[in-house]
Amino acid sequence: MDSTVDIRPFEDGDAAGIARLCTSLGWPSLSDPEVVRRVCTAPGSSAYVAVRDGDLVGWAQALGDGVLQSHLGFVAVEPAHRRRGIARLLVTATFQATHTLRMDLITDVASGFYASFEHKPMRGFRIYPGA
């Protein structure tokens, strides 16, 4: 675990740092700070950031109904700060903030990381409009 990282709820001033992180990771959908702000403040959204020495080094966001179901939409950690427990702290904080009993996610990377949480593997689909 990284003892010097601060995990805290998203604030509007974090949007530019998240957009920079997402751009560096090749996530063009989240390269605009205004889009990031809207994603993080949407109804039902819970978003947390990881800050170390004043720099944003990670971020997670989930959507939930506040009762039963949530969906982990995004988790990102700067490559230089990975393997220090930051992603686990972000996922845990975000999940707790949704106030739900379960959280689903879709991923094609880091399956070993997600499998380290208590879970039930399931199949899923990502559906697009007009498809």
pLDDT digits (tens, 9 = 90+) for 25-38: 999 999 999 999 99
Q: pLDDT tens digits for 50-109? A: 999 999 999 999 999 999 999 999 999 999 999 999 999 999 999 999 999 999 888 777
Q: Using CA atoms, how far apart are residues 26 and 38, in angstroms rounded to an integer?
A: 19
Characterise 99 by phi-psi region: left (phi > 0), alpha (psi -120 to 50), beta (else): left
pTM of the complete model? 0.86
Fold for 5-105, please state it.
Aminopeptidase (3.40.630)
Q: pLDDT tens digits for 47-57? A: 999 999 999 99
The H-or-E segment that residue 87 falls in is helix 86-98
pLDDT band at 41 (very low <50, low <70, confident <90, very high): very high
CA neighbor of 14 nearest in space, from 44, 50, 42, 46: 50
| Tokens, residue 8 | 């805290």
